[in-house]
Amino acid sequence: MLVDIPIEPGALTRALAQSDAGACVTFEGWVRDHNDGKRVLHLDYQAYAPLAQNEGARIVAEAKQRFAVRDARCVHRVGSLAIGDAAVWVGVSAAHRDAAFAACRFIIDEVKQRVPIWKNEHYADGESGWLHPDNTPVGAAEPR
């Protein structure tokens, strides 16, 4: 689930293939050059690795239970990423497309909420900030 090298979507997608799978849906989350009106130069992702692995595996297992899929996988990259790099990849194969779309959407939504991974955006103005869920950067400590 966690990797510190570039994600290879082609190989990951091919590994989902099954003879009874007629549908494959994949999602890639890419590093974007702006957020909240600020120009982003690059990102760092930090993870609590043991829990991120376990929670990621639980999400994929839940998806396999809830939807009629043949296979499902998710990979998230950590470390320093450049604009355009794939930060996260989700892939699902299923007999039919409805289950594949639904399971893929479920996995990425749950990963964003539940897997202990954090994004630090480095901005063109020299500032940086960890993003926390309302999607605004949080300073290290507020003046007290």
The residues binding other proteins (CB under 8 A) are 29, 45-48, 50-52, 54-55, 76, 87-88, 108, 111-120, 130-135, 138-142, 144
Q: Residue 8 contacts by C-beta under 8 Å, 6 or more apart in sequence?
A: none
Task: Provide the minimum distance between the beta carbon of 55 and other proteins in the complex, in angstroms, as a whole number.
Answer: 8
**15 or 51: CB nearest other proteins:** 51
Task: Provide the minimum distance between the beta carbon of 26 and other proteins in the complex, in angstroms, as a whole number.
Answer: 14
Degrees to nearest 5, angle at CA 54 with 76 and 72: 60
**69 or 117: CB nearest other proteins:** 117
Please give the Cα distance from 32 to 25 (Å, whole number).
22
Task: Provide the minimum distance between the beta carbon of 52 and other proteins in the complex, in angstroms, as a whole number.
Answer: 8
Please give the Cα distance from 40 to 90 (Å, whole number).
24
